Amino acid sequence: MSRRTRIASFGGAGLLVIAGTVCVAVIGGGTGQILALVLIGLGFVAATSLAFLEVGLSEDRERAQERVQAAKPPKRRLTRDRPRLDRMRGRPRRLG
Spell out the per-residue pLDDT of the chain, length 96, in tens. 788 988 899 999 999 999 999 999 998 888 899 999 999 999 999 999 999 999 999 999 999 999 988 888 777 766 666 666 666 676 666 665
| SS3 category, 76 | coil
- pTM, 2 dp: 0.65
pLDDT of the residue at 21: 92
Sketch the domain layout of the chain as residue ranges: 3-71
Q: Are 15 and 47 in contact (CB under 8 A)?
A: no
Query: From CA 95, how far away is CA 81, in angstroms rounded?
Result: 17
Query: From CA 20, how far away is CA 66, in angstroms rounded?
Result: 43
pLDDT of the residue at 36: 93
Query: From CA 2, how far away is CA 6, in angstroms rounded?
Result: 6
Query: From CA 82, how far away is CA 96, in angstroms rounded?
Result: 14
Query: From CA 79, how far away is CA 96, in angstroms rounded?
Result: 22
pLDDT of the residue at 77: 66
- Taking alpha carbons only, the member of 21, 14, 15, 13 closest to residue 37 is 21
pLDDT of the residue at 41: 95
